[in-house]
Structure 1
Amino acid sequence: MSTVLSWPITALGYRQLPAKNYRHLALGAGSTGVRGAEGRLGEPSEIARAALFLASDDSGLVIGIELSVDGGTAQI
């Protein structure tokens, strides 16, 4: 079994909040710069495409992984 790990996404719940309430998710707490390589919240479709890949025949021998879809945040 494989798993998709995601960075916070721009789901409906986040879109209903004023930007100042969730900006800390895209910025490092106390940081002066953006933490993720992409510097933005993810889109639900980006997470869905990763999950679809793992569920498809294209994933072949990709078994038992944790696929981070997080804009590079896990690498920082």
Structure 2
Amino acid sequence: MRKGHNQYVRVISDLENHCLIEVIDVHKAEELTEYLESLWTEEERLNIEEVSIDIGAGFARVVKPVFPKAHIVYDRFHVIS
């Protein structure tokens, strides 16, 4: 992988338990939504409390419908004070 447009992968991890769930090469919102919905049942997704994402607006548009009760937290690598 190299830096550039559409050269990134999505990393799905469990931050609480410090474990990698999946690394996926998905760039379209619809594909990411489908993939996330396939990982957990609806009941499991409703119990997820927080989701850490890149600061890009596209991620929030995917996360809210998939994890409707989760608070969105922007990851520390994309926030500078």
Give TM-score, length-normalised by structure 1.
Answer: 0.24
Q: Greater strand percent: which structure?
A: 2
Higher relative contact order (CA 8 A, sep 6+): 1
